[in-house]
Amino acid sequence: VFDIQTDSELVCIEGHIGPINALIHLEECKLLSGGNDKTIRLWDWEKGSQIQAFYHHDKPVRALLKLDEDLFASGGGEKIIYIVSISQKKVIRQLNECSDTILSLEKLNGDTLACGTAKGVIGIYNYTENKCLNLQPLHNGAVKALVYMKDQQKLISGGDDSYINILNLETGEHLNKLSGHHGAISCLLLLNSGSIFASGGWDGQIILWDLERREQIISIKENENFVLSIIYMNDGKSIVSGGSDKMVKVWMMKQQATLEELSADLKSFNGQGIIHTEGNQIVLSTPKNGKCTACQIY
């Protein structure tokens, strides 16, 4: 745990051997992480301790997704989506029709989820009935980022081919392809407005998009390093990014309603890899050494 005001480490959680590829917040102080060591670990980050470990993967864990208060989904190199019960401490279901290594997962309406694979295919599944509802080969390369726009029933995907694709979930129609990045897209983020989303990529850019107009609002050239993760804080005023430069940066909007006006880096502290947030307060990073770190922003 870091105090951003003093840039000092308060608590560091260790347990994984090697890189952590996926990190999600479950509830209160509980975290779930998955790594190259083929394990998924449940943590109490406030106490700095591990609660439980899951060992159902035989290849690196690439994606995690919270489904409800008890269930989560995991995916990796086995080409299988595992549905896991925390209370039962075991896999209760498997979705076996995935076309390749699973790199991203996203919760949709009801009992459906989406996955993105290493070969550019997006799959839609009913995870309670073990059914594949749709397979869409939308990208020429890995799909590492998915975001669901519930109000518009659209799924947005970002791939290694540098494109963002928009899929209508009601009709299954591919609506549009957006270009603007000059390299792989590593993360997508839905802002509170409902029609505005952000993307981050290996070209060092963070781009804000208007889905209705299907065009860029603004492009922020963060640096020459990869942007690996972006989050939107619940205060409605700031975006946080994490990248290969081992820095976590907070970008503040000058006016809450004006997305075009973003300042330069206001605060930064040493950290690595992918980040995650809960509420207005906490950012969690996953450095390549297998440690989870919580950081106090405000």
Question: Which pLDDT belongs to residue 229?
Answer: 84
**What integer pLDDT is reported at residue 261 of this predicted model?**
40
Average pLDDT (66-70) is 96
Query: In this predicted structure, what is the pLDDT of residue 228?
Result: 84
CA dist 239 and 293 (Å) reads 19
For β-strands 90-95 and 40-44, DSSP reports them as: unpaired
Count the alpha carbons within 13 Å of 35 in the hemisphere toward its beta carbon. Answer: 23
Q: According to the model, what pLDDT value does residue 263 have? A: 39
The residue that leads in pLDDT, 244 or 82, is: 82
Q: How much is the pLDDT for 196?
A: 87
pLDDT of residue 288: 60
- Residue 164 in contact with residue 157, Cβ under 8 Å? yes
Q: Which residue has the higher pLDDT, 75 or 257?
A: 75
Specify the pLDDT at position 6. 60
User: What's the CA gap between 251 and 223, in Å, rounded?
Assistant: 13
- pLDDT over 80 at 157, yes or no: yes
Query: Each residue of 232-278: pLDDT tens digit?
Result: 776 666 777 777 777 777 776 554 333 334 433 334 444 444 444 45
Q: So what's the pLDDT on residue 231?
A: 78
When pLDDT is cut at 50, 70 and 90, the band that residue 230 belongs to is: confident
**Alpha carbons 181 and 189: distance in angstroms, whole number:** 15
Question: How do residues 162-191 score in pLDDT, each as one tens digit?
Answer: 999 999 999 988 888 999 999 999 999 888
Kindly report, residue by residue over 209-229, the tens digit of the pLDDT.
988 888 888 887 766 778 888
Supply the pLDDT for residue 41: 97
Q: Do the Cβ atoms of 122 and 145 come closer than 8 Å?
A: no
- The class that CATH gives domain 2-285 is mainly beta
Give tens-digit pLDDT for 23-58: 998 888 899 999 999 999 999 988 889 999 999 999
CB atoms closer than 10 angstroms to residue 155: 23
Task: Give the pLDDT score at 241.
Answer: 79
* Domain ranges within the chain, ordered by starting residue: 2-285
The pLDDT of residue 105 is 98
Neighbours of 270 (CB within 10 A): 15
Q: Is the pLDDT of residue 95 over 60?
A: yes
pTM: 0.84
pLDDT attached to residue 262: 40
